[in-house]
Amino acid sequence: GQQLNQSPQSMFIQEGEDVSMNCTSSSIFNTWLWYKQDPGEGPVLLIALYKAGELTSNGRLTAQFGITRKDSFLNISASIPSDVGIYFCAGPSGSSNYKLTFGKGTLLTVNP
């Protein structure tokens, strides 16, 4: 199946700082999704990307679909304490039925 490498594994930042994380795949994707998971909750879809080069924002979050179609980036500007959580990238698993494969996640900690 598809392999997703997500980095960094974890980040510790101060409130107000900007954050950047990325995801790379072993093969070309036609879709990238970014999710956030709070402790004890299900993941919430943040941004969906469908075109190479696409740059999409959702509030303070911006995600980009890499030109090579093998990577994606998520940036968070002016972080706040509620940004704490695990961020997952996801893309098509390569099989039918629209299955997704997930990265291992980036754990974000924001110090107030």
Partner 1 sequence: GAVVSQHPSRVICKSGTSVKIECRSLDFQATTMFWYRQFPKQSLMLMATSNEGSKATYEQGVEKDKFLINHASLTLSTLTVTSAHPEDSSFYICSARRPGLAYEQYFGPGTRLTVT
Residues that bind partner 1 (CB under 8 A): 31, 33, 35, 40-45, 48, 50, 88, 90-93, 97-100, 102-105
Within 1-112, strands assigned E span 4-7, 10-14, 19-25, 32-37, 44-49, 55-58, 61-65, 71-76, 85-92, 100-102, 106-111
Choose between 44 and 80: whose C-beta lies nearer to partner 1: 44
Output the smallest distance, CB 25 to partner 1, in A: 13
Output the smallest distance, CB 14 to partner 1, in A: 23
Choose between 9 and 68: whose C-beta lies nearer to partner 1: 9
Q: How far is CA 58 from CA 40, 48, 101, 112, in A?
A: 23, 10, 22, 22
Output the smallest distance, CB 78 to partner 1, in A: 26
